[in-house]
Amino acid sequence: EVQLVESGGGLVQPGGSLRLSCAASGFTFTDHYMDWVRQAPGKGLEWVGRARDKPNRYTTEYAASVKGRFTISRDDSKPSVYLQMNSLKTEDTAVYYCTRLMYHASSSYYPDFWGQGTLVTVSS
């Protein structure tokens, strides 16, 4: 059974840092790209970023709203994906989901499995 379990959320002050983890099981982690997506309370979904796999040199992509502050990494040996969040702002308050991407034709990838999410609250 595919499982993605996020952890590391909590309350942090503006300007602070937090590291989210997403532990994967039930599938071959090394075969998949991984995305992070967030949802602010009462709001819609927002894509945060992507971590590609080893053949693609673990390259990453980020939303403009987090670029330079957030870093996505992965450890295939764990297997886990991480979201390091620095210089946090109140507008980063959200439930953060990690997602597994499945490859489809024509170099397209779609999030076919989502974790249950972890809540990050940025407040003084």
Partner 1 sequence: DIQLTQSPSFLSASVGDRVTITCRASQGISSYLAWYQEKPGKAPKLLIYAASTLQSGVPSRFSGSGSGTEFTLTISSLQPEDFATYYCQQLHSFPLTFGGGTKVEIK
Q: Which positions touch partner 1 (CB under 8 A)? A: 35, 37, 44-47, 50, 61-64, 97, 102, 104-105, 108-117
Q: Considering beta carbons, is residue 79 or 111 the nearer one to partner 1?
A: 111
> Containing H/E element for 37?
strand 34-39
Query: How many Cα atoms within 13 Å fall on the side-chain side of residue 62?
Result: 13
Concatenated DSSP letters of 86-97 = -S--GGG-EEEE
Q: How far is the CB of 36 from partner 1 (least distance, A)?
A: 11
The alpha carbons of the chain give a radius of gyration, in whole angstroms, of 14
Q: Considering beta carbons, is residue 37 or 122 the nearer one to partner 1?
A: 37
Burial class (CB in 10 A: 0-12, 13-18, 19+), 69: middle
Q: How far is the CB of 28 from partner 1 (least distance, A)?
A: 17
Q: Considering beta carbons, is residue 27 or 113 the nearer one to partner 1?
A: 113
Q: How far is the CB of 123 from partner 1 (least distance, A)?
A: 21
